[in-house]
Structure 1
Amino acid sequence: MTHPPQVRSAPHPAPGPAPAPARPPGGPVAEAGSRLRAAVTTEPGRLRLIGAVLAALVVAFGAVTALEVSDRAAAAEDVVSGSQPLSADAASVYRSLADADTAASSGFLAGAVKEPASVRERYEKDIALASELLIKAATNTEGSSESGRQIATLNKELPVYTGRIEAARAHNRQGLPLGGAYLRFANEQMTKVLLPAAQKLYDAETARLHQDDEEASRWPVLSVAVGLAALGALLWAQRRTYLRTNRVFNHGLLATTAATTAALLWLTVGHTLARDGLTEAREHGQRSLEVLNDSRISSLKARANENLVLVARGAVLTDDGKSDKYETEYGAGMAELGKGLDRAGKLADDDGARALVAAAGAGVREWRDRHQEVSSTDRAGNYEGAVRKVIGAEGSTGESFDTVDKALEKALAHEQSEFTRAARDGRDALGGLPAGAAVLGLLGAVGAILGINRRLSEYR
């Protein structure tokens, strides 16, 4: 019996660790590039990339909107509660100083014994109000700013002015003509130092108001651009899904699109309403306030100069030496007052404002007519009669001035309320938008991720 030859088989290799997969040549950078190519060349990889981009765009839209609108809302709040009240206070400082000068000249003209208590009280009230408002302004202003410098000037010079007024009163009580000189020195300090400083303070605060208003009204261009980019990317992604799967809706992407659209509409409508409110406040409130403030200041200056015409008795002439200085300045002030009331009438946008401006205009016409009578009486040598026609209780130019001043005061209060109402409406239109945009952005990002994950699950 024949047997097949015995053949010894090769020994089996000892078990060991599996060999490591071959790495592509080029190291970690090449490996990362290979993975990136795999991500963009396979449908699951593309979906993951699309989901990441969509989520990033929606979150960026929410974040940018929250930041930009927060800046606009802060500026609008400054308009309502910061710069506009400070501008109004600066205007009140100017008016108080000018009115104090007018009251001082009226009291001096009446004489130390006959000076009405109401005139003295008005002067003291004006000085106290100006001092109080300067303290308030100083607490809200940097000392190195233009406003800070003007506040320092006013605080330094106001005691000098009040000292001269008291010196004028003291000499007037003794019947000394030196009192008139002190009053003229005080008036010169008021017109050349105090009022110019108050005007610069008002100009600085008004410029600050305009800057805040411009910042609050500026369109959030970056937010709108990012929102449109996110919305366009979402629409493209959904169209791509439809073309590849014939499925009309992806619930996650649809929810993200709805959230993005809502945030974009909220941003557009909210900022449009804010701009409209701030524009109304600026056009029909702040401009009217500026014109009315200027008009009231012109009336105060004219009244002070009218009083000084009789105090100086022709002793102070214009630079050319041909005319009475105070009479000339009275005429210039009344001319400015008339022009200001014409502008205020054109800016008035409701019957209440127009009626108040018209009342002031009627008072100005009456004032001019009565001043002509004062001039005629004074030229006729009846000085006491002229004084009575200026500071008397009835039928005097002082009565006409009070009519004008009260009408302008009411008109200012009316326009201030209109400004505040419109500016608050503009500010409130932005309320909740920063937080709402941030929340909608996060919800949109979650929706995008869920929508893409739903598509990825179909490949598992």
Structure 2
Amino acid sequence: MTQTIAPHAAPLTAVPTPASAPVHRTGLRGALSRTPGRLRVAGVVSVLAAAAVGVIGLNAGLAQSEALSDADADTTQLVGIQDVRNDLVVADATATNAFLVGGLEPPEQRARYDEAVASAANGLAQLAGSNAADAELLGQATAGLTTYTGLVEQARANNRQGFPVGAAYLDQASSVLRSDVLPQLDELVQANSDRVDASFDSVASVPWLLALGILALAALVVVQVWLARQTHRRLNVGLFWATVLALAASIGGAVVLGSAAAKAGDARNGPYDATVSVSEAYSLANDAKSQESFTLIKRGSGAAYEEQFVLKTDEARELLARPTVDPALAPLLDDWVASHQEIRALDDAGRWDEAVALAISEEPGAPNDLFEAFSTAASTSLEASAEVTHDALSGSGGSSVLVGWLMLVVGVLAAVLSWRGISKRVEEYR
């Protein structure tokens, strides 16, 4: 038997891999594995941190300035709407009081009514152009005012001729005013009041934005500590001065923006609160004045109007009791309310003619004279507090913008110093 011998297979020879052969890393991971790469990353972090201080400061300054501007504009709009409302209730109070005279009303009261109506009409037109958001309701109020003045003229015409229907026209005119005009203005007052509150809240919250700068400062400190450990040097001049500048800018910005916020807060809790309170009290008092006249016009059936008089004067008294309000106003209101009680005493005793004579009297110490004293004092107080509020809000916005831009400049300078400080360490590895 023949045997076939298979050829021997050639042995496999392993290719040795030298243990000392280096393994090269590429890309970002490779760069970060070496000290120069880490230094460059630290440089980027420090630059971004320093720049963040400037950007945050600029945004905070601009935001606060805008909030102050909005608060000023919305406050002006609010006061303007309240002025229009006051003009209308003054006109209505004057018309109803003049109606008690019978026949041709006194010229001075007619002039006062015409002036109040003209002021209200002009105010409505100006306010509609000041804020587009209020234009629709202001248009409705203007239409209602036209209807109101038309009814008042019909009431006057009938009253001059001695027709009893004149009282019905006057009653209808007053109803139109309180259903088609004043509610729209009250809604606008509330809307603008909400906007003012939101703007004040924004002014107060802006300084807290600078708290974000603490994170940026912390990043600069962390980079310096890491760099000191890597290079065995305690201080990097560029990073040190960058940190000093960023810290100084943050503290300075916080002081300026915080001061502006505190000033706005003082205005909010002081003259602004006084302006709103006195304006509302003045409007309530004039509304009560109309109710006083209607209690007499209705001749024995005006109990509902007397209830409204008491309600509105009580509300006005509460508003005038606020600590921000001129304390001289409340006693003036009380003097007029006390004189009203004299009118009611005469009417309740069946002495209607004497009650009317007292109600329309222009003699010193008469109800109309006392009411005029209160009105004059309230108007003067309103103008003063509104002006103080405007000055407080308009005077702080400029400083907020200025400190914002200064912080941006300082942030950029700190970023440049940071990069230069890191670059010197990178060059040492070349």
Fold match by TM threshold 0.5? yes
For residues 197 and 123 of structure 1, the distance between their equivalents in structure 2, rounded to whole angstroms, comes to 21
Structure 2 residue 213 is matched with structure 1 residue 213? no
1:312, distance to aligned residue in structure 2 (A): 2.2
The counterpart of 2:93, out of the listed 93, 99, 102, is 102
Structure 2 residue 382 is matched with structure 1 residue 390? no
| Contact 2:61–2:401 (8 Å) recurs in 1 | no
For residues 66 and 369 of structure 1, the distance between their equivalents in structure 2, rounded to whole angstroms, comes to 58
- The letter of the residue matching 2:174 is N
Structure 2 residue 36 is matched with structure 1 residue 44? yes
Q: Give secondary structure in 1 for the equivalent of 2:128.
A: helix
- The letter of the residue matching 1:91 is Q
| Contact 1:276–1:426 (8 Å) recurs in 2 | no
Partner of 1:15: none
- The letter of the residue matching 2:126 is K
| Contact 1:51–1:452 (8 Å) recurs in 2 | yes
Partner of 2:284: 298
Structure 2 residue 144 is matched with structure 1 residue 166? no
Q: Give secondary structure in 2 for the equivalent of 1:110.
A: coil
For residues 191 and 386 of structure 1, the distance between their equivalents in structure 2, rounded to whole angstroms, comes to 26
Partner of 1:399: 369
1:203, distance to aligned residue in structure 2 (A): 0.9
Partner of 2:139: 152
Structure 1 window deviating more from structure 2 (212-221 vs 297-306): it is 212-221
For residues 221 and 34 of structure 1, the distance between their equivalents in structure 2, rounded to whole angstroms, comes to 44
Partner of 2:317: 338
For residues 363 and 35 of structure 1, the distance between their equivalents in structure 2, rounded to whole angstroms, comes to 84
| Contact 1:306–1:327 (8 Å) recurs in 2 | yes
Q: Give secondary structure in 1 for the equivalent of 2:26.
A: helix
Task: Give the 3 Å change call, closer, same or farther, for CA 376–56 of structure 1 in structure 2.
Answer: closer
For residues 120 and 49 of structure 2, the distance between their equivalents in structure 1, rounded to whole angstroms, comes to 54
For residues 118 and 49 of structure 2, the distance between their equivalents in structure 1, rounded to whole angstroms, comes to 58
- The letter of the residue matching 2:102 is G
1:364-414: per-residue Cα shift (whole Å, max 9, x none)?
A: 332233222222333444444322211212231111111221222222223
TM-score, length-scaled by structure 1: 0.82
Counterparts of 1:22-421 in structure 2, within 5 Å, are 34-80=26-72, 82-113=73-104, 115-142=105-132, 145=133, 147-219=134-206, 221=208, 223-225=210-212, 227-245=213-231, 247-314=233-300, 316-317=301-302, 324-342=303-321, 344=322, 346-348=323-325, 353=326, 357-358=327-328, 360-394=329-363, 395-421=365-391
- The letter of the residue matching 2:216 is A
| Contact 1:96–1:127 (8 Å) recurs in 2 | yes
For residues 133 and 368 of structure 1, the distance between their equivalents in structure 2, rounded to whole angstroms, comes to 30
Partner of 1:444: 414
Q: Give secondary structure in 1 for the equivalent of 2:235.
A: coil
| Contact 2:253–2:404 (8 Å) recurs in 1 | no
Say how many residue pairs are matched: 408
Structure 1 window deviating more from structure 2 (281-290 vs 294-303): it is 281-290
For residues 374 and 219 of structure 1, the distance between their equivalents in structure 2, rounded to whole angstroms, comes to 55
| Contact 2:62–2:401 (8 Å) recurs in 1 | no
For residues 221 and 276 of structure 1, the distance between their equivalents in structure 2, rounded to whole angstroms, comes to 13
For residues 352 and 268 of structure 2, the distance between their equivalents in structure 1, rounded to whole angstroms, comes to 48
Question: Structure 1: which 5+ runs fail to align?
Answer: 1-23, 26-30, 318-323
| Contact 2:207–2:254 (8 Å) recurs in 1 | no
1:182-240: per-residue Cα shift (whole Å, max 9, x none)?
A: 11111111223321221111111111111222222224555422x22221222223333
Partner of 1:320: none
| Contact 1:100–1:123 (8 Å) recurs in 2 | yes
For residues 84 and 277 of structure 1, the distance between their equivalents in structure 2, rounded to whole angstroms, comes to 15
Question: Structure 2: which 5+ runs fail to align?
Answer: 1-21
Partner of 2:17: none
For residues 201 and 150 of structure 2, the distance between their equivalents in structure 1, rounded to whole angstroms, comes to 43
- The letter of the residue matching 1:83 is D
Task: Give the 3 Å change call, closer, same or farther, for CA 338–233 of structure 1 in structure 2.
Answer: closer
For residues 223 and 393 of structure 1, the distance between their equivalents in structure 2, rounded to whole angstroms, comes to 61
- Percent pairwise identity: 27
Task: Give the 3 Å change call, closer, same or farther, for CA 223–34 of structure 1 in structure 2.
Answer: farther
Partner of 1:17: none
Structure 1 window deviating more from structure 2 (186-195 vs 361-370): it is 361-370
For residues 38 and 329 of structure 1, the distance between their equivalents in structure 2, rounded to whole angstroms, comes to 84
Q: Give secondary structure in 1 for the equivalent of 2:163.
A: coil
1:97, distance to aligned residue in structure 2 (A): 0.9
1:134, distance to aligned residue in structure 2 (A): 1.4
| Contact 2:207–2:258 (8 Å) recurs in 1 | no
1:152-198: per-residue Cα shift (whole Å, max 9, x none)?
A: 22021110000001111111111211111111111111223321221
| Contact 2:128–2:138 (8 Å) recurs in 1 | yes
1:263-301: per-residue Cα shift (whole Å, max 9, x none)?
A: 211232122112211211111122222221221111101
- The letter of the residue matching 1:393 is E
Q: Give secondary structure in 2 for the equivalent of 1:254.
A: helix
Q: Give secondary structure in 1 for the equivalent of 2:100.
A: helix
For residues 246 and 190 of structure 2, the distance between their equivalents in structure 1, rounded to whole angstroms, comes to 43
- The structure showing larger relative contact order (alpha-carbon pairs under 8 Å, at least 6 residues apart) is 2
TM-score, length-scaled by structure 2: 0.88
Structure 1 window deviating more from structure 2 (450-459 vs 180-189): it is 450-459
